[in-house]
Amino acid sequence: MTVRSFSAEVREHLLAAIERKALAVAISNNALEPLIQISKGTPSLYNDPELSARLTRVLKQQLGQDNVELSAMSMGGEDFSRYGKAGVPSLMYLLGAVSVQRLDDYADKNESPPSLHSSRFYPDIEASLITGINTMVSAVLELLQPADQKEGQGKLSE
């Protein structure tokens, strides 16, 4: 079983509650005490607010204001979170990989597009690669600037 939460405190609360409930079920059924083994798993991902603000400006310059938005919190598991826990400011961004036309086609059929891990998912590869490479290079150019230079200059020339 996987237990996910947005904070370590809530995770500890959930795990303790699972143990209490398992023990209560065993006792109420006159069963042996359950053997519960808990693996620490992957911590929740935390986007550094300062880094997020800095790179959001760069991404909006690169892609346009209307093409960059904050996403809702997600319960996805991601090993990348360990960098942030180790003190490295980190940011994970999502790259749209399906064209608006394909999304509209799904909507016209009253269907949801397949999720990333579905065997039916496939990206619009050329546009995805161009956008992904441009945004990553723009972010790197921004982050490689000396601290005394103005932020937001990481946009690639056209």
Kindly state the percentage of the chain with pLDDT values over 70: 92
State whether residue 24 is helix, strand or coil.
helix
Same domain as 78, residue 57: yes
Same domain as 57, residue 129: yes
pLDDT of residue 45: 85
**Domain limits at 24?**
1-41
Gap between the Cα atoms of 123 and 18, Å rounded: 39
SS3 labels along 34-72: CCCCCCCCCCCCCCCHHHHHHHHHHHHHHHCHHHCCCCC
In a domain? residue 154: no
In a domain? residue 19: yes
Question: Quick count: other Cβ atoms within 10 Å of Cβ 80?
Answer: 12
What are 72-123's pLDDT values in tens digits? 888 777 788 888 889 999 999 999 999 999 999 999 999 999 998 899 999 9
In a domain? residue 134: yes
Query: At 68, which CATH number?
Result: 1.10.150
Same domain as 57, residue 89: yes
Same domain as 77, residue 25: no
- The reply to whether the predicted model has a pTM over 0.85 is no
CB 90 within 8 A of CB 79: no
Domain count, the chain: 2
